[in-house]
Structure 1
Amino acid sequence: MTKTLRAGRAVRTLVATAALASLAACSGVTYAKTPLPTKPATSASKPPAAAAPVSCSNPLQSYDPLPSIPTASAITDGTLRKILDRGHLVVGTSADTYLFGARDPLSGRLEGFDIDMARAVAKSLFGDENKVQFRVITAGDRIKLLEQREVDMVARNMTMNCARWEQVAFSIEYYHSGQKVLVARGNPATTLEDLKGQRVCAPKDTSTLDNLKKVAGVIPVPADTHTGCLVLFQQGKVDAITGDDIVLAGLAAQDPYAVVTRAPAISDEPYGLAFNKDDVYLVRYVNRVLADMERDGRWTAIYNRWLAGALGKAPAPPKAVYGR
């Protein structure tokens, strides 16, 4: 090993140590759980009927938006009424996906594209974008916390697909991504196929890891988060990381030894905001918010604020598909 490589590994180890310290600091933060509604049991109570299966010929197809944003007093939907009476929205998100959902180390405030999406919904509901309680979750937490109603909404770069529609409901697509590969500078690999025999990290319980496991000869290494993958990469325990393009762009911005390859994305990753599958009215409300944001330019402004530096100026927003 050359002196330059040893020096580079030493710097990367220091970066990894700092990242671990940051994660440890974040883990001390506690988040209040959303209280679950209780209903007195009676001898005449019947078990709830099983939800009807969700038809899914197109995972991008969501529910029609409300015709307009109703006044708070006009909302009678049970789920949304409870949120309004509580006084804040509870949103599951990431704290370590730079540019999408990450904690500012100085202010401690969560910020990024997904965070601004959630704040826009809170602004519509309460007239105040700060009336949102963020709960930091892993990718593996997303579905179970929605099913358990511990969060009202998930804004955590979640890919829409038919299998997930069986478990949760999605808004219209609000961001379109694609799976790519991050390697160390000097690594000649550009695609996953070029990494046969090498260790490649992806977060647990993600479509990214599912796609990785389909590549013959690559050694998949799961981690709880993409930041966990970055730590393993900086420690030399994996040779590459795979993930959605914007996630990898955020990782590369934190490590001068990392680069996202120029190979085309190997998948389409349409992101949707996720909800309990029974909360159809809430999805329709949020679809109205997203449609208004796309029309009046707020979506473009948020994109340019967070992503233009890494990906260039905002494209047209993803085309909404309704009619579910």
Structure 2
Amino acid sequence: MRGLPSQRKGRAARWSTLALAGLLLLSGCGGQSPSGSPALSAQRDSAGSEAAASASAAGCDVLASPHPMSPLPAAGAAMPSGSTMARIQKRGRLIAGVDQNSYLWGYRDPGTGDLKGFDIDLVHEMARALFGDPDRVEFRTLNSAQRLTAAADGTVDLVAHSVTITCERKQQVAFSADYFHDGQRVLVNRSSTARSLADLAGHKVCAAKDTTSIATLKAARPKVVPVGVSDWTDCLVQLQLGEVDAVSTTEHILQGLQAQDPETMIVGPAFTFEPHGIITAKRNTDLVRFVNAVLDRLRADGTWERIYARWMGRFGPVPKPPTPRYAG
């Protein structure tokens, strides 16, 4: 497609944008935010119902998670003897696997060295419920390919890292209820003529390794050329350098990339349904029930919406959190 690949003309000017993108990711600021796309809530809910029905027919209820712990003890109160939560309390800190390269969801502020974002705030709320202190957390940063292994082998207590819930992954780890759902879209340079994934047939499209996004690209028809990287910021750099023609993943990740580089834009409708869950080792069902109870509280008292507004409110109206589905 003529004019689709990143333009070589003016590349020197783009290098200044590249430097700015890195600064914005580190600083967690950036002045005027780009306008966001529509919330797509109805579309995602419809897609979610279809995906859940399809998975159920195949023998897997993709959205079902264990019933919440009831009652949820008061913040900082002793957890049941012998429980995973009691062991974490005895240790004195929650160990959480998170991202440090997804602006607005899990990124590092260079001014303080602190990790910030939507997922980071959720982890702080888990620590608050365990210890009465949201800062009793040891964060361990992971790339996308490390998330499932770190949860499954107990390297961390839980992972909050934009993990899409799938039936295949449920065989490896335990998932909380859906705390945020989204859909995969496409990010391109403003000079691109592409307006959908189909327009990128035969062109290079970037996504992080071992994600549902890269799997979707590999299965795309018409075919694109998937390019796998370790972190989403690597995709942005490759797009800026003209080494790929697009980035494709869930919209909330793309919004963070777009916020770092105003010379990019998100195009096309969402073409997947991506429910997100916090993950733990499969053996720690009690911890999943605890996490679900905390998430229920965050939905009920408005904390979920306040956290969303803090990080994503710039992109449009604050949606209602997903309705959880419990089984077992």
State TM-score, norm by structure 1: 0.84
Q: Could you tell me which residue of structure 2 aligns to residue 63 of structure 1? A: 66
Q: Could you tell me which residue of structure 1 aligns to residue 314 of structure 2? A: 309
Q: Which residue, 196, 201, 206 being the options, matches 2:201?
A: 196
- TM-aligned CA deviation for residue 18 of structure 1: 6.6
Q: Which residue, 152, 161, 165 being the options, matches 1:156?
A: 161
Find runs of 4+ consecutive structure 1 residues off by over 2 angstroms.
5-8, 11-24, 70-74
Separation of aligned partners in 2, 1:260 and 1:8: 21
Are the counterparts in 1 of residues 157 and 280 from structure 2 also a CA contact under 8 Å? yes
- Relative distance call for 1:74 and 1:252 in structure 2 (3 A) is closer
Separation of aligned partners in 2, 1:296 and 1:162: 30
- TM-aligned CA deviation for residue 12 of structure 1: 2.7
State TM-score, norm by structure 2: 0.83
Q: Could you tell me which residue of structure 2 aligns to residue 170 of structure 1? A: 175
- TM-aligned CA deviation for residue 147 of structure 1: 1.9
Secondary structure (helix, strand or coil) at the match of 1:290 reads helix
Taking the TM superposition and a 5 Å limit, the aligned residue runs for 1:231-270 are 231-261=237-267, 263-270=268-275
Are the counterparts in 2 of residues 56 and 162 from structure 1 also a CA contact under 8 Å? no
Are the counterparts in 2 of residues 102 and 112 from structure 1 also a CA contact under 8 Å? yes
Separation of aligned partners in 2, 1:56 and 1:141: 27
Taking the TM superposition and a 5 Å limit, the aligned residue runs for 1:125-140 are 125-140=130-145
Q: Could you tell me which residue of structure 2 aligns to residue 42 of structure 1? A: none
Q: Could you tell me which residue of structure 2 aligns to residue 219 of structure 1? A: 225
Taking the TM superposition and a 5 Å limit, the aligned residue runs for 1:1-324 are 8-16=10-18, 57-70=60-73, 72-215=77-220, 216-261=222-267, 263-310=268-315, 312-324=316-328
RMSD over equivalenced CA pairs, Å: 2.1
Secondary structure (helix, strand or coil) at the match of 1:256 reads coil
- TM-aligned CA deviation for residue 146 of structure 1: 1.3
Higher relative contact order (CA 8 A, sep 6+): 2
Which ranges in structure 2 are unaligned for 5 or more consecutive residues? 27-57
Q: Which has the larger Rg?
A: 1
- Relative distance call for 1:104 and 1:74 in structure 2 (3 A) is closer
- Relative distance call for 1:18 and 1:315 in structure 2 (3 A) is closer
- TM-aligned CA deviation for residue 77 of structure 1: 3.4
Separation of aligned partners in 1, 2:25 and 2:323: 36
Which deviations, in whole Å up to 9, do the C-alpha atoms of 1:52-98 show, x marking residues without a partner?
xxx95211100000112125434223422221111111111111101
Which ranges in structure 1 are unaligned for 5 or more consecutive residues? 25-54
Separation of aligned partners in 1, 2:139 and 2:10: 36
Are the counterparts in 1 of residues 188 and 247 from structure 2 also a CA contact under 8 Å? yes
Are the counterparts in 1 of residues 189 and 265 from structure 2 also a CA contact under 8 Å? yes
Are the counterparts in 2 of residues 87 and 131 from structure 1 also a CA contact under 8 Å? yes
Secondary structure (helix, strand or coil) at the match of 2:123 reads helix
Q: How many residues align?
A: 289
- Relative distance call for 1:239 and 1:59 in structure 2 (3 A) is same
Are the counterparts in 1 of residues 96 and 138 from structure 2 also a CA contact under 8 Å? yes
- Alignment identity in percent? 40
Separation of aligned partners in 2, 1:157 and 1:301: 18
- TM-aligned CA deviation for residue 13 of structure 1: 2.6
